[in-house]
Amino acid sequence: MLIPVLDNAKHYWIGDDEVEKLLRHGEGWLAAHPHREEIARRYLRYRGRLTREALQRLVSEEEPELDDKEDSKGAEEEAVERRLSLNEARLGSVVAALRGLGAKRVVDLGCGEGKLIAVLMKDPSFEEIVGLDVSYRLLEIATERLHLDRLAPRQRERVKLLHGSLTYRDKRIQGFDAAAVVEVIEHFDHARLATFERLLLELARPGGVVITTPNREYNGRFEHLPAGALRHRDHRFEWTRQEFEAWAADVAQHFSYAVRFLPVGPLDAEVGSPTQMAVFTR
> Residues 260-275: what's their mean pLDDT?
94
Tell me the per-residue pLDDT of 29-39, one tens digit each, with 9 for 90 and over: 787 676 777 78
Q: What is the pLDDT of residue 54?
A: 78
**Do the strands 208-214 and 258-264 form a parallel or antiparallel pair, or are they unpaired?**
unpaired
Tell me the per-residue pLDDT of 189-201, one tens digit each, with 9 for 90 and over: 999 999 999 999 9
- pLDDT: which is higher, 147 or 5: 147
The values of phi and psi at residue 233, to 5°, are -65, -20
Q: Which of 206, 225, 209, 205 lies closest to 217 in space, CA to CA?
A: 225
pLDDT confidence of 253, banded at 50, 70, 90? very high
pLDDT confidence of 47, banded at 50, 70, 90? confident
Whether the per-residue pLDDT at 9 is higher than 80: the answer is: no
> Residues 254-267: what's their mean pLDDT?
96
pLDDT confidence of 67, banded at 50, 70, 90? very low
Whether the per-residue pLDDT at 11 is higher than 60: the answer is: no
> Residues 101-118: what's their mean pLDDT?
97
Sheet with 159-163: strands ordered across: 159-163, 128-133, 105-109, 178-182, 208-214, 275-281, 258-264
Q: What is the pLDDT of residue 142?
A: 95
Q: What percent of the chain clears pLDDT 70, i.e. is strictly above it? A: 83
Whether the per-residue pLDDT at 130 is higher than 70: the answer is: yes
Tell me the per-residue pLDDT of 144-174, one tens digit each, with 9 for 90 and over: 999 998 988 888 899 999 999 999 999 999 9
Sequential DSSP letters for 38-99 = HHHHHHTTT-HHHHHHHHHHHHHHHS----TTS-TTTHHHHHHHGGGTHHHHHHHHHHHHHH
Tell me the per-residue pLDDT of 74-95, one tens digit each, with 9 for 90 and over: 555 555 555 447 888 999 999 9
